[in-house]
Amino acid sequence: MRKISLQWQITIMNAMVVAAACMVLCYFMGFTAILRIDQIGSSAAGIMDDEFEITVTEEFVRNVAESKSSFWISSVIVTLLVTLVSSIVMYLVVGYALRPLKRLNRQVAEIQAKNLSETQIDADGSIEMISLSKAFNSMLKRLGEAFTVQRQFAGNAAHELRTPLAVIRSRLDVFYKKREHSQEDYEEIMNMIQNQTARLSHVVDILLEMTQLQSAEQSEQIKLSEITEEAICDLTDLAEEKNILLMQNDEDASFYGNSVLVYRALYNLIENGIKYNREGGSVQVSVGREKEYAFAVVEDTGPGIARENFEKIFDPFFRVDKSRSRAVGGAGLGLALVKEIARAHGGDVCVLNSSAKGSRIQVRFCNLKAEK
């Protein structure tokens, strides 16, 4: 049954139901009639036994038997005819009713991955088909957007990896063209290779971390204040270089998650607070709880983030000022990673507010399921 078309499946099921109904109907209708005929036959036999009008009674009994068998034969013929006619009608009706589905099938078969978000399925007919096509169109839109993001991501990643490789190649070319090399030349080329490969491995490491995020265990009980303290402690040297004061509030919030990832998210936010800050500024981290979320707000005294970049800064490889950001060591992946980590913990990250006096970025984590 599974391998034949829906049209045939419905037709066969209909034929079986109609045949069964006809047979039941014929049986019950005939049962009463035949019972009566049998009673008449028996009374005729009684008359025959009493030797009254023998010829008439014999013919009558024969007629009774013939009527019985002809009744059954005609019942079978009528059942077959009704089943056949209703099956043909059903086949045509179902074929007509399934036309929008066949059209939908053709349209779906023509969909290409290239232009998913512009592709629209239009279905007519029943309410179900129209709502199916609407659901399908919105799925296509979501898929299209996801494909576009993925394509951009792959393009940006390739670009990010290509740049250091191009630098290494061109500098090596220049190096080999020079006939004689001094000790300084060697040191310079080694430094350059070291810097560029460090940049390459930094990008590759973050990309790998991002792909492994979803499968990471999230069952540890995390005390946000402890993780914040750890990150602040690890960033003290960097802060001292820029003479930046790191502060943390006294509150705490706990939830279930992955401590390595949460540390990474807080580390990136605080590190940015230090990197994009003025000399002698400060970074204040406030931990707390709000409804089902545990949150941390990182507040800095840097130059601020323009309103139009509030969301873009969380996109992979986005940098407000490419040359400046690259100079402070970023590939534009730090906040994208924070966003993915927050998402993996049922939370989010956003810029609460920002001005020329500094920015406030909030990350939230939610994991009430496992909470005690």
Q: Is the CB of residue 320 less than 8 Å from the CB of residue 332?
A: no
* Least Å from the CB of residue 358 to ligand ADP: 8
Q: Is the CB of residue 79 less than 8 Å from the CB of residue 19?
A: yes
Stretch that binds ligand ADP, among 186-194, 233-241, 245-253, 325-333 (CB under 6 A): 325-333
* Least Å from the CB of residue 117 to ligand ADP: 26
* Least Å from the CB of residue 352 to ligand ADP: 12
C-alpha–C-alpha distance, residues 330 and 313, integer Å:
12
**Residue with Cβ nearer ligand ADP (94 or 274):** 274
The two structure tokens encoding residue 166: 């191009």
Strand partners, 361: 298, 351
Map residues 219-258 to x or -, x wherever contact with ligand ADP holds by CB under 6 A.
Answer: ----------------------------------------
**Residue with Cβ nearer ligand ADP (54 or 198):** 198
* Least Å from the CB of residue 244 to ligand ADP: 12
Pair type for strands 293-300 and 348-355: unpaired
Cα distances (angstroms) measured from residue 153 to each of 92, 310, 344: 51, 19, 19
Query: Does 319 engage in binding with ligand ADP (CB under 6 A)?
Result: yes
Taking residue 85's Cβ as centre, other Cβ atoms within 10 Å add up to 11
Crossing angle of helices 99-109/127-177, nearest 10°? 0
Binding residue (CB under 6 A) for ligand ADP from 263, 302, 344, 347: 302
Q: How many chain residues bind ligand ADP (CB under 6 A)?
A: 20
Nearest-CB residue to ligand ADP? 330
**Position 142, amino acid:** R
C-alpha–C-alpha distance, residues 216 and 371, integer Å:
18
Query: Does 362 engage in binding with ligand ADP (CB under 6 A)?
Result: no
Can you tell me which residue has the tokens 């279930």? 256
Binding residue (CB under 6 A) for ligand ADP from 41, 100, 164, 273: 273
Query: Does 281 engage in binding with ligand ADP (CB under 6 A)?
Result: no
The two structure tokens encoding residue 35: 């019972």
Query: Does 274 engage in binding with ligand ADP (CB under 6 A)?
Result: no
Please give the residue ranges that form the binding site for ligand ADP (CB under 6 A): 272-273, 276, 300, 302, 305, 313, 318-321, 325, 330-336, 359
